[in-house]
Amino acid sequence: MNGFFSRVYEIVARIPEGKVATYGQIALLLGEPRSARIVGWAMRAAPEHLNLPCHRVVNKLGEMSPDYVFGSSEIQKTMLISEGITFKANGCIDMKKHLWNVLKL
């Protein structure tokens, strides 16, 4: 497995229930602030056997992933709602409330 991808998976595995992280945030944590797209590629390639909470990784606006990722954006949204994530009227996650504060680790 790619070293960068493995490091992404280590971070994603630590995102707590009820919180979300952004692709850019994960890239920053890796010391690779311009690698948000590569984080996205890593998420798409995540092996199922790792049981990662991939649904907790979203874009900086709090939008759901495209339908091809989870089968539909509604599936991802349902998974997040079941963990206590709330959404604004525009359908985006309330990022002020749910963005993972890694400084509290």
d(CA 21, CA 71): 20
* Active-site choice (29, 43, 54, 57): 54
Q: Given this model, what pLDDT does residue 70 score? A: 85
Measured CA to CA, the distance from residue 68 to residue 13 in angstroms comes to: 22
Structural domain that includes position 26: 3-104
Q: What is the DSSP letter of 46?
A: -
Residue 44: CATH number of its domain? 1.10.10.10
Task: Tell me if residue 54 is catalytic.
Answer: yes
- Work out how many domains the chain is built from and give that number: 1
Q: What is the DSSP letter of 20?
A: B
How does pLDDT run along the chain (105 residues), one tens digit per residue?
689 999 999 999 999 999 999 999 999 999 999 999 999 999 999 999 999 999 999 999 999 988 888 888 999 999 999 999 999 999 999 999 999 998 754
- pLDDT value of residue 2: 80
